[in-house]
Structure 1
Amino acid sequence: MKIKVCGMRDPDNIVDLAQLKPDYMGLIFYPQSKRFAGNPDKSVLSSLPDSIKLTGVFVNEKIEEIIQKVDEYDLNAVQLHGSESDLFCKQLRDMLNLRMPIKKIEIIKAFGIFPGFDFNELKPFNDVVDYFLFDTKTAAHGGSGIMFDWKILDQYKGQKPYFLSGGLSPENIPEISNLGLEYLYGIDLNSKFELEPGLKDINSLKSAFELVRI
């Protein structure tokens, strides 16, 4: 199972996290977020191991702005955490392929999950994104630290791999293996592993990594 740590900002914290070798590291380019990355240190980002997929998180951003950030920070993946449509995702993918034909940029589309969520809404996205991300539905577009009822995922009948997000913590991570979720691709760790917004507790993350990678 892949591990994504999101909401990184501090250069030293980024370097320390890299030592744990997460599969994905997320930078939030959403100005209203408490974990807004601002202008990340390019020298630090360029020193990260190739095994870490640097991911830019965007909320209802313009395609040109996303592509500019992908190019500027050499991103490996784009996470769309707003109300982006399947048409938007297709246009973004087409533009990325046109501008960067050699480099494969993954697209992750996040959805806020709540009781009564209709998983049929995901069908139009199947051919235009690489992964889904299921998070707790909030007005803040993620980072709430609130879990949704994981039993809702039993209603997902698709075959697109997905990340699980929303309130993951050292206490509930062991429960994930008991869920039997066939298409669970990775987990997304954020607010429950912070000393303050944008600053991760490396020791807590290390414990979580050990739980997942046993």
Structure 2
Amino acid sequence: MAIKIKVCGMKYPDNIAAVTSLGIDYVGFIFYDQSKRYVGNENKQYIESLDSPTKVGVFVNTSIPEILVKTEEFRLNAIQLHGNESADFCHKLKQQSSAIIIKAFGIDINFDWGQLDPYVGGVDYFLFDTKSSSYGGTGIQFDWSLLDRYTLNTPYFLSGGVDAKNIKTALEKKDPRLYALDLNSKFEVEPGLKDINLLTHSINSIKK
């Protein structure tokens, strides 16, 4: 199966249009107001009108009612949880929403892979990012060899410092559970504004 492509942290309609024209599979919008890529409500009507690709809303420690409201308002297809959301929270959210559920975890050498077990059945995908003291991406790659310790069957998005140079390494992993690459800060002119030329080159390399 071909690796899917998610471009996250989008803000501006013209840039969104240019990025989605590249044939990506997922486009991510951040609803965490402490992020430099916070989408706000300014371009709500434009985002709501997008029919493709799959629209992902990124939330951090947000209540289920608020997530459900934003999902409906922006017509989101997927919900990415990037905070300290418990397995019970994910299971409850999944019962109340038809959206795809993605749960993010920050990975480092001390990560307890066993903590993922209770989330099985409550999420559709995991997302593995670089461990950080704050919520959100670091632009730094974690040691991808740590993924060898992942024993579950739930497919995952690979995030954390994915850039034009290490995409090839990611693709060489040959892990059938690696579902998608999450492209963000390494492909930006500034936070929320993506470099179309760099993305075009990198996306073409993924699709070869």
TM-score interval for Structure 1 and Structure 2 normalised by the shorter chain: over 0.9
Any residues of structure 2 matched to 1:152-167 within 5 Å, and which?
152-167=146-161
Structure 1 pair 112–20 and aligned structure 2 pair: CA distance change class (3 A): same
Using the TM superposition, give the Cα deviation of residue 40 of structure 1 relative to its aligned residue in structure 2, in angstroms.
4.6
Shift of 1:180: 2.5
Counterpart amino acid of 2:200? K
Shift of 1:46: 4.1
Does residue 146 (structure 1) correspond to residue 148 (structure 2)? The answer is no
Matching residue within 31, 34, 38 for 2:36:
34
1:211 is the counterpart of 2:182: no
Aligned residue pair count: 206
| TM-score after normalising by structure 2 | 0.96
Task: Quote the residue 2:8 is aligned against.
Answer: 6
3-state SS of the aligned residue for 2:67?
A: helix
**Counterpart-to-counterpart distance in 2, 1:178 and 1:11:** 34
**Unaligned 5+ runs, structure 2:** none
CA distance in 1, matches of 2:164, 2:195: 12
1:140 shift after superposition: 2.4
Backbone CA RMSD of aligned residues: 1.1
Q: Larger deviation: 112-121 or 146-155?
A: 112-121
Distance of 1:42 and 1:88 partners within structure 2? 26
Q: Which residue of 2 aligns with 1:21?
A: 23
TM-score (norm 1): 0.93
SS of 1:56's partner is strand
Q: Structure 1: how far apart are the matches of 2:60 and 2:69?
A: 15
Unaligned runs of 5+ in 1: 97-103
Percent identity, aligned pairs only? 51
SS across alignment from 1:82: coil
Of stretches 54-63 and 87-96 in structure 1, the one that deviates more from structure 2 is 87-96
1:2 deviation in Å?
Answer: 0.5
Where has structure 1 moved over 4 Å in runs of 4 or more?
A: none
The answer for the alignment partner of 1:115 in structure 2 is 109
